[in-house]
């Protein structure tokens, strides 16, 4: 089948062991980018995705950030939010109140804004991983400011000792499961977004609004639980070799791991 669009997760999928794009990955994307749209899809904020777009020479291709909470297109040369779905400030305030009884680090994200209460171990770790520097601010003040603007976070990231993260996850599942997507990306990481979004739902909207392409015409790559629905929903869902076993179980194809250029190798097999 002649697939028409490439969609790929970033961390653990497209990036290598150094959290960078390999030369092989860059080369194959350069060869296909003028005939196949390349859509990066991630839990990352847009600013943490754009430098990868520039390396791949796809700065005007759409991107899907925050696990589907924000779709950006560049039809007129500037970013346009095709979709923006946020967490309510009421729920954000409840989470902030809960974590104040713990040592959990809480990051708030909206668009290209990233706020942290201090530059601690967790903030520095994420800054090193994503190449984006957060702004330091009192989170209560950030919430007050956003509330006055009638906006909320696209994502809340909570990081800390796994026992405390488990307690937070339990609390959210009991009190806010109908409103939130609660994603445990690691034992020490809890990513929180609106229940209304997913990677697959965002891709479906992008295909409908921007491209004359069906889901069955898409190749998608992923490695983690938040990629399962996406890989099941497209024409060819590919799990990298280091993916969770649950992801491999539903994938149409399993390629080599992200450290072995699994994405690039599969694209070469299909399009070269």
CATH code 2.60.40.10 for 89-194: no
Instruction: Check residue 136 and give its pLDDT.
Output: 98
Edge-first strand listing for the sheet containing 236-239: 80-84, 70-73, 63-65, 38-41, 5-8, 218-222, 236-239, 253-254
**Residue stretches of the chain with pLDDT short of 70:** 1
Q: Over the stretch 25-68, which tens digit does the pLDDT of each residue have?
A: 999 999 999 999 999 999 999 999 999 999 999 999 999 999 99
Instruction: Check residue 56 and give its pLDDT.
Output: 98
CATH code 3.40.50.1000 for 5-84+197-271: yes
SS3 161: coil
Sequence ranges of the domains in the chain: 5-84+197-271, 89-194
Instruction: Check residue 197 and give its pLDDT.
Output: 94
Instruction: Check residue 1 and give its pLDDT.
Output: 65
SS3 193: strand
Closest CA to 39 of 83, 9, 78, 79: 9
Instruction: Check residue 272 and give its pLDDT.
Output: 83
* Packing angle, helices 89-99 and 139-148, rounded to 10: 170
Cβ atoms of 237 and 200 closer than 8 Å = no
Edge-first strand listing for the sheet containing 180-186: 135-136, 113-116, 105-110, 155-159, 189-194, 180-186
pTM value is 0.95
DSSP 61-122: S-EEEGGGTEEEE-TTSS-EEEEE----HHHHHHHHHHHTTS--EEEEEETTEEEESS--HH
Q: Over the stretch 194-204, which tens digit does the pLDDT of each residue have?
A: 999 999 999 99
């Amino acid at each position: 089948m002649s697939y028409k669009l490439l969609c790929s997760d970033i961390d653990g999928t497209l990036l290598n062991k150094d959290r960078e794009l390999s030369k092989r990955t860059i080369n194959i994307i350069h060869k296909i980018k003028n005939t196949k749209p390349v859509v990066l899809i991630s839990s990352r904020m847009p600013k943490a995705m754009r430098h990868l777009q520039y390396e791949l020479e796809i700065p005007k291709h759409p991107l899907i950030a925050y696990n589907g909470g924000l779709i950006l297109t560049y039809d007129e040369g500037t970013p346009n939010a095709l979709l923006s779905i946020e967490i309510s400030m009421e729920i954000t305030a409840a989470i902030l109140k809960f974590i104040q009884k713990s040592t959990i680090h809480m990051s708030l994200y909206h668009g290209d804004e990233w706020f942290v209460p201090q530059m601690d171990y967790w903030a520095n770790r994420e800054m090193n991983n994503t190449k984006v520097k957060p702004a330091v601010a009192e989170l209560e003040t950030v919430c007050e400011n956003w509330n006055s603007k009638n906006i909320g976070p696209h994502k809340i990231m909570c990081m800390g000792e796994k026992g405390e993260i488990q307690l937070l996850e339990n609390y959210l599942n009991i009190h806010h499961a109908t409103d939130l997507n609660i994603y445990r990306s690691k034992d020490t990481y809890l990513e929180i977004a609106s229940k209304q979004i997913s990677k697959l739902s965002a891709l479906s909207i992008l295909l409908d609004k921007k491209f004359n392409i069906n889901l069955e015409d898409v190749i998608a790559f992923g490695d983690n639980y938040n990629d399962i629905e996406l890989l099941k929903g497209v024409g060819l869902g590919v799990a990298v070799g280091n993916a969770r076993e649950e992801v491999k179980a539903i994938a149409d194809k399993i390629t080599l791991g992200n450290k072995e250029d699994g994405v690039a190798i599969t694209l070469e097999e299909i399009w070269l």
